[in-house]
A and B are shown apart, each in its own frame.
Chain A
Amino acid sequence: MTEPLLPAWSEPFVKEELAAGLVRASRVDRIDREWAWGGSTGAGITVAIIDSGLERDHPALHGRVVESVAVEIVDDEPRVVADDAGDLFGHGTACGGIIVGLAPEVELVSVRVLGADLRGKGTAFLAGLEWAVERGVQVANLSLSSKSEALFAAFHEVVDEAYFKGLALVSAANNVAGASYPSLFSSVFSVAAHAVPDPWRLYYNPAPPVEFGAWGVDVPIAWKDGGSTVATGNSFAAPHIAGIVALIASKHPRLTPFEIKTILAAVADDPRPVSARRHASRRRGA
């Protein structure tokens, strides 16, 4: 192999044989939901649930759990081991259930980063995220985040790595004041709750840090020990976006996280009442 004459990142722009990699599927104005995920089931996509574990035999998960691991802290060093503890709180199962509800053929990987010995350990969460990135999942749902300033750089590094690998990190915005990582990083899909009881209703917010809105109020969810309940929180909004991202990624396998964000922005619902929308489109001459 010959050495490239140009820095590597210029190659796709100048080499004809690589130009095909720049051809995108569609322009934003031609994107609609049918194109984005019509007919998709999420098949071929693996979603990591970085949370409290998954209850493999919970009816809401429809047997889609293919692997379960947990982070263990031994001598202050986190390591990832196979896990059969199920779900300590029910929360991971709730998130997994929402995702399978939207994308029934995804495969779920449970990365348990919560537990008696992992309380408040940002390093455990970080190790779980790193593991998911290395394992090669396409989507990860993170309904938690760390407030540790000390871990800022480490989280930044792994989130960038995920982004460059094409892994979509979907993170629930923390609704408690103060910084939290990685939900505030620009490359993640940061999600907060809206109250419209519709799993498909999604909003795009061009004023970051929280870019997307999804159903997160009074959501019927799976819970511990095969049970179910109704819950409110940003952490139930995030898996709605994760499920839709999985559908898009399944139908269009080469899309990068920023392209998926663009698609979500293009198909996002208009939060204005119908009358206001008509008025606006008349003024635009549409």
Chain B
Amino acid sequence: MAAEEAPSNAALRALQAAARRSAVGRRLQGDVEQVLLQSIVDATVALFDAEASSIAIFERDPERLEFRVAAGEQGAGAIGLSVPPSQGIVGYVFSTGQALALSDVLSDPRFDRRTAEKTGYVPRSIAAVPLIDGQVAVGVLQVLDKRSSPTFSLRDMELLAVFARQAAAAINASRVQRDTTLLIREVLRSIAGDADDAAIEVLVGAATDGLDRDDEAPFWRLVEQVSRLRGMSDRELGLVGDILDVVARYSGRPGRR
């Protein structure tokens, strides 16, 4: 980076502090997006009386659709699973933005079973709708096997689209906060309209350096531990604060690095 492009040290320090605080805040608060999405699949399963419902979110490097939440008796196996966006029903719905449902899936012995089998459950019917955030698809909501009917009706598809809109809104609302780097980049872009992308990336890199979530790093382990204290009473929290105070004072003593 050329010297004249360097942000002032004070500004960079402020950015670094903001980035750190944002990352810590997210850890302490828990994943709001996850909670919202989970509530949507829970509601979907209940309303459709279905064996399972899940939401896959598009992630990059490598490009994949990752099942983040699931509900229903047969849903759990899907969580954490990834499928390529160029494969299967979920991939098609994501790639085209077109909702569709397949029933009688088992009648075709070659039907994309591999993914289904990984979840430990091969469905007879699937309905899938895209999650559209603005102009782009960000994921897919799917329902497997309605217990009351072997197929999905047009009304089912409409209803599912309503849930998909909620999920997309939840993702939109929390995505920026979810990604500290994105947050800083978006803020920089909005205040420095004429700065080129490369210059902004340099600033983003400098501000978030060392923030890469290495869960083994002692500091992040501590954040994780603190986040588990959320359920404590004020009195208990006061006690934890006192202990931390003592530790902090000890660490500030001369002679300690």
A-side residues, CB < 8 A to B, are 52, 88-89, 91, 114-116, 118-120, 143-145, 147-149, 172, 174-178, 180, 193, 195, 216-218, 223-236
In the complex, the answer to whether A233 meets B98 with C-beta atoms within 8 Å is yes
B104 at the interface (CB under 8 A from A): yes
Query: CA separation between A255 and B193, bound complex, in Å?
Result: 52
Task: Indicate if the CB atoms of B110 and A230 lie closer than 8 Å.
Answer: no
Among candidates B86, B109, B161, residue contacting A227 with C-beta atoms closer than 8 Å: B109
- Interface size for B (C-beta < 8 A) is 44
Q: How far is the CA of A227 from the CA of B113 in the complex (A)?
A: 13
Q: Can you list 6 A-B contacts (CB < 8 A)?
A: A175-B99, A175-B157, A193-B154, A226-B110, A232-B153, A233-B157
B151 contacts A218, CB within 8 Å? Answer: yes
B86's partner among A115, A143, A144, A177 (CB-CB below 8 A) is: A115
Question: Which chain A positions have C-beta within 8 A of B112?
Answer: 224
Q: Report the minimum CB–CB distance from B84 to chain A (whole Å).
A: 7
Cα distance, A176 to B99, chains bound together (Å): 8
For B107, list chain A residues within 8 Å (CB): 228-230
Q: Are B98 and A143 in contact, with the CB atoms below 8 A?
A: yes
Q: Which residue of B lies closest to A232 (CB)?
A: B101
Residues of chain B within 8 A of A228, CB atoms compared: 107-108
Interface assignment of B164: CB less than 8 Å from any CB of chain A: yes
Q: Which of B92-116 contact A (CB under 8 A)?
A: 92, 94-105, 107-112
Question: Do A229 and B105 touch across chains, with their CB atoms under 8 A apart?
Answer: yes
Q: How far is the CB of A48 from chain B (nearest CB, A)?
A: 16
> Complex Cα distance A116/B88, Å?
12
Of listed B99, B102, B151, residue having the most chain A CB within 10 A: B102
Shortest CB distance A246–B (Å): 22
- Count of A-B contacts judged by CB separation below 8 Å: 126
Question: Bound complex: CA of A129 vs CA of B151, how far in Å?
Answer: 33
**Complex contact A180–B63 (CB within 8 A):** no
Interface membership of B135, Cβ < 8 A: yes
Which residue in B105, B157, B161 is a CB contact (below 8 Å) of A232? Answer: B157
Given A176-B164, A177-B165, A223-B108, answer yes or no on A218-B130 (Cβ-Cβ < 8 Å).
no
Confirm or deny: B127 has a beta carbon within 8 angstroms of a beta carbon on chain A: yes
**Contact partners of B109 in chain A: CB under 8 A:** 227
| B87: A residues at CB distance < 8 A | 88-89
The smallest C-beta distance from A44 to any residue of chain B, in angstroms, reads 30
Q: Are B110 and A147 in contact (CB under 8 A)?
A: no
> Which B-chain residue is minimally distant from A52 (CB atoms)?
B92
* B89 proximity list for chain A (CB < 8 A): 89
Among A91, A176, A232, point to the contact of B97 (Cβ < 8 A). A176
Which of the listed residues A116, A218, A228, A232 has the most CB atoms from chain B within 10 Å of its own CB?
A232
**CB < 8 Å neighbour of A180 from B88, B97, B108, B129:** B97
Which residue of B86, B87, B136 has the most chain A CB atoms within 10 A of its CB atom?
Answer: B86
Known contacts A195-B153, A217-B154; A231/B95 CB under 8 A: no
Inside 8 A of B96's CB, which chain A residues have their CB? 91, 114, 143-144, 235
CB contacts (< 8 Å) of A148 on chain B: these are 135
> Told that A120-B137, A236-B100 touch, could you supply 17 new A-B pairs with CB distance under 8 A?
A114-B92, A116-B85, A119-B85, A143-B96, A174-B98, A176-B129, A176-B164, A177-B165, A195-B153, A218-B103, A224-B111, A226-B110, A229-B102, A229-B107, A229-B111, A232-B151, A235-B100
Given contacts A147-B135, A217-B154, A233-B157, A172 and B98 within 8 Å (CB-CB) = yes
Are B110 and A227 interface neighbours, CB within 8 A?
yes
Q: Are A232 and B100 touching (Cβ within 8 A)?
A: yes
Q: Is the CB of B130 within 8 A of A176?
A: yes
Return chain A residues, CB-CB under 8 Å to B127.
232
In the complex, the answer to whether B161 meets A230 with C-beta atoms within 8 Å is no
**Residues of B close to A232: CB separation below 8 A:** 100-103, 127, 151-154, 157
With A and B bound together, what is the CA distance between A175 and B132 in angstroms? 11
* Cross-interface CB contact of A224 among B110, B157, B158, cutoff 8 Å: B110
A147-B136, A232-B127, A233-B101 given as contacts; is B111 within 8 A of A120 (CB)?
Answer: no
B91 sits at the interface (CB 8 A):
yes
- A119–B140 Cα distance when bound, in Å, is 14
Nearest B residue to A121 by beta-carbon distance? B95
Q: How many Å lie between the Cα of A145 and that of B97 in the bound state?
A: 8
A222 to chain B, nearest CB (A): 10
Q: Nearest Cβ distance between residue B95 and chain A, in whole angstroms?
A: 5
